[in-house]
Structure 1
Amino acid sequence: MNVPPPPPYPPSYGPGFPPPRPVVFAVVAGLLLAVAVAVNGLLFFGMAFAGDSCGTSAGTAWFCDDSGGWMLVAMSGPTAALAAAVITVVLGTVRDRRPWTALALGVLAYAAGPALALFTVFG
């Protein structure tokens, strides 16, 4: 007597989740990382010469004060934001298994660094 095997437990209802696509995620994350590194390089190069305008009326009060603290924020802020974004994406992907949500949060975390640097220089 042939008895058919029982259905898989629990039974699936609805269309289900799409299969994960780790290759697409890796390509998108790699491209975003390359763009972020290029933006960081351009910002670092620009911030190296941003102090030249402190003697003119073009310099902002925050960036051109004598303490040099805001200049350090403007130069290292994008790099710190990139590190925070990479940590956010890695932890969100590994621990929560939500790579696309973690990637979106990483992009938001990274965007804060260049925005802070540009706001510091241009007021």
Structure 2
Amino acid sequence: MSFPPPSHPQPYPPSYGPGFPPPPPSPGRSARVGFAVAAGLLLAAAVAVTGLLFFGMIFASDSCGTSAGTARFCDDSGAWMLVAMFGPTVALVAAVGTVVLGVVWARRPWTSLALAVLVYATGPALALFTVFG
């Protein structure tokens, strides 16, 4: 009794012979890996800067009782103090959203990453401008 040969190719190599060659690499894989590495490094740097600025803004109001404090930062409402403290965090969230929207909707990852860097830079710049005038 003999069995007919299979009508479709087998998905695995036979147990004898040289086997199948490995599949060729996909054309955009290195660009995606490079983008993921660049985005991860920029995100880590942004989180570190945001954390340091948040920590520094906790102590920035110590000079409000002296002549060294700026009038904008040391007003009685505390609104500018909140802007200086949470501005970098809000900018970080907006930058991450910019990258996600750029990658998913526009399919322009590198452009969205460059735009996200600019979006994030507004947060620390606003915080430092608020404190140092």
* Correspondent of 2:92 among 67, 77, 82: 82
CA distance in 1, matches of 2:107, 2:41: 20
User: Aligned to 2:55, what secondary structure does the other structure show?
Assistant: helix
Name the counterpart of 1:55.
65
Decide which structure has the larger Cα Rg and report it: 2
* Correspondent of 1:117 among 110, 124, 127: 127
Q: 5+ unaligned residues in a row in structure 2: which ranges?
A: 1-26
Q: Give a deviation string over 1:26-77, Cα, whole Å, max 9, x none.
A: 0000000000000001000100000000011111011000000000000000
The structure 1 segments of at least 4 consecutive aligned residues displaced by more than 4 Å after TM superposition are none
**Counterpart amino acid of 2:41?**
L
Aligned residue pair count = 105
**Counterpart amino acid of 1:40?**
T
**Counterpart amino acid of 1:30?**
G
Q: Give a deviation string over 1:81-111, Cα, whole Å, max 9, x none.
A: 0000000000001101100000000000000
In the alignment, does 2:106 pair up with 1:96?
yes
Name the counterpart of 2:53.
43
User: Aligned to 1:26, what secondary structure does the other structure show?
Assistant: helix
Q: 5+ unaligned residues in a row in structure 1: which ranges?
A: 1-18
CA distance in 1, matches of 2:67, 2:121: 28
Percent identity over the alignment is 79
User: What is the 5 A alignment of 1:59-70?
Assistant: 59-70=69-80
